[in-house]
Amino acid sequence: MVNTQSRREFLKTSIFGLLTFPALSFSWNLIEKEKRASSTKVALVYTDDRKYGVKKSISLLGINPVKGKRIMIKPNFNTADPTPASTHNDTLTQLVIELRRMGAREIILGERSGPPDTRKVMEEKGIFNLAKELDFNVINFEELKENEWVHFNPPGNHWKEGFYIPKIATEVDEIVSTCCLKTHQYGGVFTMSLKLSVGMTPKKLMRELHTSPHMRKMIAEINSAYEPCLIVLDGVEAFVDGGPSFGKKKQTNVFLAGTDRIAVDAVGLAVLKEVGSNEAIMGKKIFEQEQIARAVELGLGIDSPDKIEIVAEDERSKKYAEKIYQILKQG
């Protein structure tokens, strides 16, 4: 697989030619398909302690892609409703602490909420106070100017005129995603690391997304514009029906971490199947879900559950990981 740095270098050198030469913006996916990773790790920690879950899941991966880097955290602030509707502040706090410990040079949090106003959501969640306390910067994507967005319109995508992501996402050294574990009742089916990308697009595109029969494919396509170096999924609680801001909730007591969005979401779907979810989750194989299938087509990560290595340390986590892996294999 092409490494993160080479992809980012290509993006930065070609980004301003996208409108003239739109095929360039996604040409790396052809390379990705040829050099797809033979395997990827997903760390699993069985716990209801969010601070421990963040710290342990990251450490189990045995990587440090943030040292000396300018980092942007992309959380899930769709609304200010309690987790799993939005990123828990304990999870965000510990993630910032871990990134600092790992040597991140600068930390930015970037997000766009919806339908509620983003600034109001951040205020209700106490994010601005948290930013002062933990010394990170906050960028409200909803307040960006027109020239602070980058346009993508790759061949074969399902957006009418392409889509946009914030320019800052192409300028930082690395992006760290932190998502929740939940179903989505408005057409997305599930919302984890792949669907987190919707908050990277301007609110004006949401009507097109939510009225399109290709919604789930369009979600995957946004992810082709950037690549996180780390994904942390808070699955202490999950919506197993409904979502994204309210729904039927179950205690799932799991934290996941990885670098491959397809793999993280696949394991998350296996967790939902293990605890029991709605028909849209239970009645379809994991790699047949449209978000997953389109992401595989685009070369965004692994293409088979056989390429996922679930890593766990304590006995309880190992036993649960084995159960989840068997569900993954069955689909």
CA 328 to CA 324: how far, in whole Å? 6
Q: Does residue 167 have a pLDDT over 70? A: yes
Q: What is the mean pLDDT of the chain?
A: 91
For the chain, domain boundaries? 4-330
Q: Does residue 15 have a pLDDT over 80? A: no
Nearest to 171 by CA among 26, 71, 300, 65: 71
| DSSP strand pairing (149-152 vs 163-166) | antiparallel
Which residue type occupies 161?
A: E
CA 300 to CA 162: how far, in whole Å? 18
Per-residue model confidence (pLDDT) at position 3: 32
Per-residue model confidence (pLDDT) at position 18: 39
The residue that leads in pLDDT, 6 or 285, is 285
The residue whose two tokens read 């892996």 is: 325
Angle at 303 between CA 252 and CA 194, to 5 degrees: 50
85-121 tens-digit pLDDT: 999 999 999 999 999 999 999 999 999 999 999 999 9
Measured distance between the N- and C-terminal CA atoms of the chain, rounded to whole angstroms: 24
- Model confidence at 38, in pLDDT bands (50, 70, 90)? confident
CB under 8 Å to 143, separation ≥6 — which residues?
A: 118, 119
Poorest-pLDDT segment among 33-47, 62-76, 139-153, 287-301: 33-47
Q: Does the domain made of 4-330 have the CATH classification 3.40.50.11440?
A: yes
Q: Does residue 14 have a pLDDT over 70? A: no
- Model confidence at 34, in pLDDT bands (50, 70, 90)? very low
Phi, psi for 116 (deg, rounded to 5): -60, 160
258-317 tens-digit pLDDT: 999 999 999 999 999 999 999 999 999 999 999 999 999 999 999 999 999 999 999 999
Percent with pLDDT over 70 in the chain: 89
How confident is the model over 166-177, as a mean pLDDT? 98
